[in-house]
Amino acid sequence: MNKYLSILCACALAIASCGCQGDKVPGSTDTPDTPDDPETPAQQEPVNPNKPDDAGDRVPLSASLTGVQPMTGIVLWNTSGSKTKSYVQLEYSYMLYNDVCKEKDVFDWGAMDRLLEGVASRGHQAVVRFRYTYPGYSCAVPDYIKKWPGYEATNAKSEGRNTEFPDWRCEELQRFHKEFHRRFAERYDKDPRLAFVEIGFGLWAEYHIYDGPCVIGKTFPSHEFQSEFLPLMDQWFKDTPWLFSIDASDSKYAPFHKNKELLNLNFGNFDDSFMCSDWDGYNWSGWQFFGLERYKKGVAGGEFSYYTDSDQKHALDKEGMHGRKFEDLVAKVHMTFIIGNDQPGKQTDARITEAAMSMGYRFEIRDFCVNPGKSASVLIANVGVAPIYRDAWVAVEGVRGSFNLRGLMPGESTWVQIECNASSSSKPAIECDHLVKGQKIEYQASVK
């Protein structure tokens, strides 16, 4: 990822020796008190373990997963030359606020539409993150706000580059930020081309300014403003899962320590230095702070660490890196997707596919029975590490069951009975309205 190239070059910053993310330097503000490393939450009991009395006769069924499932896996940037690889289901892109709005209350979503159109044309869905601040660039605050009376941007070095930081004292910037996301949700919340929305503030919108002028309430939004904004995201984004960096667990940047009610919101988290050497410290404490069962309502995402070239090179090694294996950490935090734009140059397609298929949901049909002309009964399990975060149903002969698979947690199984004109030649399917052309949710089965 381009944003980290300067980290590797700017030796004077010595970032790699300062922890994993957030305020990475010694003497940083306090991070959450966390308990000893607990085990991954135990698998829950099946939702409905009892076979219907009128299920009928068992019908043999054999199926396997042919690839990475929609809305999961290793994410490549939409500019990657490898984005057409068979293991890609998701493409990532930064987006700029001032590409959408230049005048007050005038919003042109052309840039967003073009991105989504391109991603969907490849049979993929998008993960997007709008940002203001990027080392070496002007701030993406709309032009009209930069001219607003009293607005004063801060220009300073970050990552050794001249960088412009927004002025969060400006009430118009605060109003715009809320209005932007309201309109964003209004337009795209149900758009099948959009999988997940990442939000945040500071450098790369990753909830930190570890190098540069970090002034809470000026170059970084105040806790008061965040406490107003975050609940609105929960109101506006009813369908699209939204998430932000685990760096928000640091009490310097975010209000969650003082305002515990914010933890009840339906957000997810991403870890932008996944698999780094110090992951068991800072990173794991962030996951713990936001809750080890948060995956049940909020998606878990991430990005491979860029602290060293070795991190990118060995992140997906079968034997692991820094004493940890990728699949083990994925299961530990119930991760659904991770940005791994450099992996095509580091690992084989087969290994990337294997790693990607270890993420997110994974459906297995364990039994299939038919009562001819009346119904079909399906015993379905989620044998993945996370739920599916969109509505999905088991269907037979085009008729959907009433149970929403979105509620099927890892380790759970349930019987779904569907009243339909079923026969011994019927086959179950998994239907979801939030897919683009070319996508299909598969299942594995070995019913004899």
CATH number at residue 409: 2.60.40
144 φ, ψ (degrees, to nearest 5)? -65, -30
Q: What does the pLDDT read at residue 190?
A: 97
Answer with the one of 303, 326, 356 that is the final residue of a domain: 356
Summarize the confidence of residues 201-208 as an average pLDDT.
98
3-state secondary structure of 163: strand
Q: Would you say 306 and 7 are in contact if contact means Cβ atoms under 8 Å apart? A: yes
Note whether 116 and 161 are same-domain residues.
yes
pTM: 0.90
Task: Extract the runs of DSSP E, i.e. beta strands, from 101-174.
Answer: 101-103, 106-107, 125-131, 154-158, 161-165
Higher pLDDT, residue 171 or 31: 171
Q: How far apart are CA 416 and CA 368, in angstroms?
A: 10
- Cα–Cα distances (Å) from 217 to 6, 131, 166, 359, in that order, read 27, 17, 10, 37
Task: Extract the runs of DSSP E, i.e. beta strands, from 109-201.
Answer: 125-131, 154-158, 161-165, 194-198
Tokens standing for residue 349 = 């397609």
Q: What does the pLDDT read at residue 45?
A: 52
Q: What does the pLDDT read at residue 143?
A: 97
How many residues are listed for the chain in this entry?
448
* Residue 208 forms part of a structural domain: yes
**CATH number, domain with residue 170:** 3.20.20.80
Answer with the one of 313, 334, 356 that is the final residue of a domain: 356
* Residue 11 forms part of a structural domain: no
pLDDT above 50 (res 36): no
Note whether 371 and 346 are same-domain residues.
no
Query: How big is the CA angle at 268 (ends 264 and 272), to the nearest 5 degrees?
Result: 135
* Residue 212 forms part of a structural domain: yes
Residue 382 CB-density burial (10 A; 0-12 exposed, 13-18 middle, 19+ buried): buried
Q: How far apart are CA 427 and CA 136, in angstroms?
A: 55
Note whether 399 and 429 are same-domain residues.
yes
Q: How far apart are CA 237 and CA 266, in angstroms?
A: 10
Render 72-85 in DSSP notation, one character per residue.
Answer: -EEEEETT-TTTTS
Residue 402 CB-density burial (10 A; 0-12 exposed, 13-18 middle, 19+ buried): exposed
* Residue 76 forms part of a structural domain: yes
271 is in which domain, residue-wise? 68-356
* Residue 6 forms part of a structural domain: no
3-state secondary structure 299-311: CEEEEECCCCHHH
Q: How far apart are CA 362 and CA 157, in angstroms?
A: 45
All residues at 6 or more sequence positions from 149 whose CB lies less than 8 Å from its CB, including other chains: none
Model confidence pLDDT, tens digit, residues 241-293: 999 999 999 999 999 999 999 999 999 999 999 999 999 999 999 999 999 99
| Alpha helix stretches (DSSP H) within 32-81 | none
Note whether 374 and 328 are same-domain residues.
no
Q: What percent of the chain has pLDDT over 70?
A: 90
* Residue 5 forms part of a structural domain: no
Q: What does the pLDDT read at residue 309?
A: 87
Summarize the confidence of residues 186-191 as an average pLDDT.
98
pLDDT above 90 (res 44): no
Note whether 349 and 366 are same-domain residues.
no
Tally of structural domains, the chain: 2
The neighbour count for residue 114, using CB atoms within 10 Å, is 10
* Residue 40 forms part of a structural domain: no
Note whether 199 and 245 are same-domain residues.
yes
Cα torsion angle, 189, 194, 195, 199, sign = negative
Tokens standing for residue 384 = 């993945």
Q: How far apart are CA 291 and CA 299, in angstroms?
A: 12
Model confidence pLDDT, tens digit, residues 72-129: 999 999 999 999 999 999 999 999 999 999 999 999 999 999 999 999 999 999 999 9
Answer with the one of 303, 337, 356 that is the final residue of a domain: 356
All residues at 6 or more sequence positions from 392 whose CB lies less than 8 Å from its CB, including other chains: 404, 405, 406, 430, 431, 432, 441
pLDDT above 50 (res 46): yes
Render 253-293 in DSSP notation, one character per residue.
Answer: T-STTT-GGGGGS--EEEEEEET-TTIIIIIHHHHHHH-TT
